[in-house]
Structure 1
Amino acid sequence: MPLFFLTLIWLGYFFQNLGWIGDCQGGIIPLYAEGLKGIIFSPFLHGSLDHIIGNSIPLAVFSFLIYEFYPKVADKVMLQAWLFSGLAVWLTPPIDFFESHTHYIPCIIGASGVIYVQAFFLFVSGIVRWTVKLMSISLLVALYYGGMIWGMIPEELLFSLSEPSKVAWQSHLAGGVIGVILAIIYRHQSEKRKKYIWEYPNYYNEKDDLLWQKYKAEYPGDFNELPHTQEDEIWDYLEELRKREK
């Protein structure tokens, strides 16, 4: 599925360059009926070559990690990341930070919402499942992609801009929230820990027992009781102090 998703992304960009898809066709327009189709198609559209490359690399990395370490829920996470992130963006009212008199209508494209779902799913899943292997994945995500959290804040609040930012913070914020929710929902759906035969309480192996008996016969000195030093009694110590005082 990740390879299929990446292929569709690049096909969408190819069709954009051919002029088959223009303006805001296939983009998410919040709270407008004509923008509903963007829930399905917007992840496959990008504004520039830098935009699509910048999304393709983390999408490939996160997809690999999800399918490698969470195979039982990987398909569900990918599908729900695709649909729910777009739906959440469509339900988010547009905010005009410049308070212009014209009606502000954003058009949102790109796969960043899906990427944020993946990133937050990987990070939170390792924490809630509390295993060394999965927590190490969480730390790697935080180490290499921790800066993504700034993308959830509108650039207009961080910098002095002369025009509206083209960074879709709505997708990032929605994706992060959905990623956390999915991590919590699927926290119990994982591969069961392997339990080896010697971990069972009634485990017995005749070969192991023979080896143990042979070792005891050949090295009896290893099993002699070690000499113990007598522990000092507190009362003896106090009596010694009294004698010194006298």
Structure 2
Amino acid sequence: MSELAPARRSPIRGRIATAAITSAGFVALLWAIEIVDTVMGNRLDYSGIQPREIDGLWGILWAPLLHGGWQHLLANSGPALVLIFVITLSGLALWAEATAIIWVVAGVGTWLIAQPNSVHIGASSLIFGWITFLVLRGIFARSALQIVVGVLALGAYGSVLWGVFPGQQGISWQGHLFGAIGGVVAAVLLGRRARENNATPTAG
């Protein structure tokens, strides 16, 4: 009677599973929060970013998790699923670091320049950041594969980037703009680090 060694899990399958769980889990969190917000009579929506108000600084932490109704959440859910999945294929830590940079840059920028007496909420700031991160990461990492991914991301979501300009009433273009800037910052920092880590030392 022979004993069979357990099959090793494919690294590619493992990354796909991690990416799928991460993207689905994040979006599920957004939906759970919106359910709670609805039950509470939409009171959580006022916990977003309130520009240049000291108490409004707390909104930087919560704004991307809050949405102004189900239509708003639904519009962000699809892009979030796709973009989180694609970024996390390169590593969960990479997605977490890029998201943290985008989150802070988008929040602080919105707090500084958005119109007073307003509240800014929604994951679209992260979505704009994830798009620009994907588009530019490969350039700074000098990775041909990631450049191809960036071109595909630009083709799929490039038209969305017009949302960084002032336009439709009630849309936080400031959040979009600084989310996109946060994605650029993340691409520069994390892309250069990846390039340095992959550099092969040569003997002098």
Q: TM-score, normalised by structure 2?
A: 0.78
Q: 2:113 aligns with which of 83, 92, 99?
A: 92
Q: By how many angstroms is 1:73 displaced?
A: 2.1
Q: 1:114 aligns with which of 111, 126, 133?
A: 126
Aligned-residue CA RMSD (Å): 2.3
Q: Trace 1:50-199 onto structure 2 (pairs within 5 A).
A: 50-94=71-115, 105-155=117-167, 165-190=169-194
Q: Which residue identity is paired with 1:115?
A: I
Q: Which residue identity is paired with 2:52?
A: L
The structure having more radius of gyration, on CA atoms, is: 1
Give unpaired runs (5+ residues) of structure 1: 95-103, 157-164, 196-246
More helix as a share of residues: 2
Residues 90-137 of structure 1, C-alpha deviations (whole Å, 9 max, x = no match): 12242xxxxxxxxx5221110111111111111011222333211111
Partner of 1:42: 63
Name the SS for the 1:105 alignment partner.
Answer: coil
CA contact (8 A) 1:89 1:174 kept: yes
Name the SS for the 1:36 alignment partner.
Answer: helix
Residues 68-88 of structure 1, C-alpha deviations (whole Å, 9 max, x = no match): 135552221122222332122
Q: By how many angstroms is 1:182 displaced?
A: 1.1
Q: Which residue identity is paired with 1:74?
A: W
Q: 1:14 aligns with which of 35, 48, 60?
A: 35
CA contact (8 A) 1:73 1:189 kept: no
Name the SS for the 2:149 alignment partner.
Answer: helix
Q: TM-score, normalised by structure 1?
A: 0.65
Query: Alpha carbons of 1:144 and 1:72: their partners in 2 closer, same or farther (altered >3 Å)?
Result: same
Q: By how many angstroms is 1:19 displaced?
A: 2.4
Range that drifts further, 183-192 or 26-35: 183-192
Query: Alpha carbons of 1:37 and 1:144: their partners in 2 closer, same or farther (altered >3 Å)?
Result: same
Specify which structure has the bigger relative contact order, considering alpha-carbon pairs within 8 angstroms and separated by 6 or more residues.
2
CA contact (8 A) 1:27 1:107 kept: yes
Partner of 2:13: none
Query: Alpha carbons of 1:167 and 1:131: their partners in 2 closer, same or farther (altered >3 Å)?
Result: same
Count of residues in correspondence between the two structures: 178
Q: Using the alignment, how far apart are the partners of 2:41 and 2:101 within structure 1?
A: 28
Give unpaired runs (5+ residues) of structure 2: 1-21
